[in-house]
Structure 1
Amino acid sequence: MNTKPYLKTVLYILSLWLLFVSLLIMSYDKVLIKNIWDYLFGENFSFTLSSLRVRNIVFLFSLIFIIIGVFILIILANSFGSGWSVACTVSDISNENHEHLEFLTTYIMPLVFTDVDSKRTVLNLGLMIFIIGAIYVKTNRFYSNPSLAILGFRIFKANVHDRGVKKCTVICRGVLESNSSIKYIKIDNETYFAKII
């Protein structure tokens, strides 16, 4: 079964969806919306990039990443249409759902109240998002994803019985129980997306 390493980056971007929604709310500027509306649909209105304030750039980037998050959900839904393993069973299960909350409180919440009017603070925010992403992917913590929790996914550690026994992190919808039958897609050698059958 082939792994899908690109899913790590995709899941990291998706994990920041709540942060981008928060930044969108904090950087909302009705003058920007009116100016864009007038530029697109008005007559004789000029809109220049130099007129953008720092909060406007944060707003536009947040909006772009929210839209990217929607596309990621569509891509994920389509990529899981095929490529599932044969049916196998699981045992020795432990619930790891606290991982979602730890990621949210440790990494996302401190960034939520960023001052979106300060260039220095916004540059720091961008740097922190990049560094957290690198750590998140390199340390295989990409499954600690609050967006997945909202979508009903749960995290379990379990022994997967498929041509031998391997202890893995299993991400699935529903409750995994001992001797549950699953099919899975490998994200990497230690992390599986699974569906309970």
Structure 2
Amino acid sequence: MSVVTEKIGRIDKIGMYLLSLWLLFILIIASKLNLKNVDICFSCDFATSNIFWTIAKDNYISGICLVLFLISLFFYYRFKFIIDGAKDGPKIVETIEDKGTEHLVFLATYIIPLAGFGLDEVRKEIILAIILVFLGVIYIKTNLFYANPTLSLLGFKIFSARVDNKEVILISTQEIEAGDSINYMPLDKKVFFARQAFKL
């Protein structure tokens, strides 16, 4: 691989972390959404400001999760835009190993346990927020943005590979095998997005 010019900055890594929490956001929205105190008038032309205020007050946790979900959606499309420029190469993959289980490790270790976190008290909501911030700091400092279960659901794969006598992590939407010729884009020091180059 050539000298790396990182394409994923700290802000993008934060966005990728939020993307990894998609499932958690959806589960929290589903579990905390509360409309029982709202008297919705379907025959009215316009909802009153009182209705919107009541909905916002009773569903602020779901609202925060919805906003974070939409922000992560933006970063997903930004990530797709970034990787569209994967044109460096071609390089030959010397050895390769599927690391798809890293998606599952993140999901099983963090997302699923946090989904069952009780949010019936403000104190617990604050604790969950602190945990998510703490995990995010670790996620970003250790460059684990590629171990993202949401990317797995969207068809991305993780590989540990040897290219140009260097051990690297490859993210791809394709199945890549040893001996394949790839075009690539550096995302971080040892993390690259890769796609198969043309074959003769």
Q: How would you bin the TM-score normalised by the shorter chain?
A: 0.7 to 0.9
- 1:153 deviates by 0.9
Counterpart selection for 1:79 from 73, 76, 82: 82
SS in structure 1 at match of 2:25: helix
Aligned to 1:110: 113
Cα distance between partner residues in 1 of 2:101 and 2:49: 55
State the TM-score, normalized to the length of structure 1. Answer: 0.85
Distance between the aligned counterparts of 1:4 and 1:32, measured in 2? 47
Q: After TM superposition, where is structure 1 displaced by more than 6 Å over at least 4 residues in a row? A: 32-35
2:20 maps to what in 1? 15
**Match for residue 144 of structure 2?**
141
Counterpart for residue 153 of structure 1: 156
1:185-196 → structure 2 map (5 Å cutoff): 185-196=185-196
Do the aligned residues in 1 keep the contact of 2:18 with 2:69 (CA within 8 Å)?
no
Q: Is the 8 A contact 1:26 1:116 kept in 2?
A: no
The one-letter code of the counterpart of 1:126 is A
Query: How far, CA to CA, are the matches of 1:113 and 1:42 in structure 2?
Result: 34
Residue ranges of structure 1 left out of the alignment (5+ in a row): none
What is the TM-score normalised by the length of structure 2? 0.84
CA contact (8 A) 2:83 2:193 kept: no
Cα contact 2:86–2:194 (8 A) shared by 1: no
* 8 Å CA contact retained: 1:100, 1:145: yes
Partner of 2:134: 131
Question: Do structure 1's residue 92 and structure 2's residue 95 form an aligned pair?
Answer: yes
Conservation of the 8 A alpha-carbon contact between 1:8 and 1:187: no
Deviation larger for 151-160 or 4-13: 4-13
Aligned length: 190
Q: 1:116 Cα shift?
A: 2.3
Alignment root-mean-square deviation, CA: 2.5
Aligned residue in 2 for 1:27: 32
